[in-house]
Amino acid sequence: GDSVTQMEGPVTLSEEAFLTINCTYTATGYPSLFWYVQYPGEGLQLLLKATKADDKGSNKGFEATYRKETTSFHLEKGSVQVSDSAVYFCALSDIAGGTSYGKLTFGQGTILTVHP
């Protein structure tokens, strides 16, 4: 079945440092890929998405590129802020073209802590 693997955490960075969170996936067909963020006490929020190979999703300074050849979707940000401290989840949908039908497969999450 489909699966998503994220780098082990937690990740601790100083403000303005460069962030990379690795994500690789296993899926049949051509899934769509997502990054969600979960702040303490809040629900998951969609951060960015990519629906086909070589697509780059971006939002709030975060970026991730859909790499079909390496089955990866690594999250990057050039300069993190304290307010970026949260749990980040990589996820895929089993329907191509961005339609998820509500069923997402998530990775285990990576805790990011940014210190001033």
Closest CB to another protein among 14 and 59?
A: 59
Closest CB to another protein among 18 and 39?
A: 39
> Measured from the CB of residue 89, what is the shortest distance to another protein in angstroms?
5
Sign of the dihedral defined by the CA atoms of residues 45, 46, 48, 54, in that order: positive
Amino acid at 28: T
Closest CB to another protein among 71 and 98?
A: 98
Q: 76 near 87, Cβ under 8 Å?
A: no
Contact footprint for another protein (CB under 8 A): 4, 32, 34, 41-46, 48-49, 59, 89, 91, 95, 98-109
- Distances from the Cα of 105 to the Cαs of 1, 26, 52, 60, in angstroms? 10, 10, 17, 23
Question: Phi-psi region for residue 73, left (φ > 0), alpha (ψ -120 to 50) or beta?
Answer: beta
> Measured from the CB of residue 60, what is the shortest distance to another protein in angstroms?
10
> Measured from the CB of residue 9, what is the shortest distance to another protein in angstroms?
10
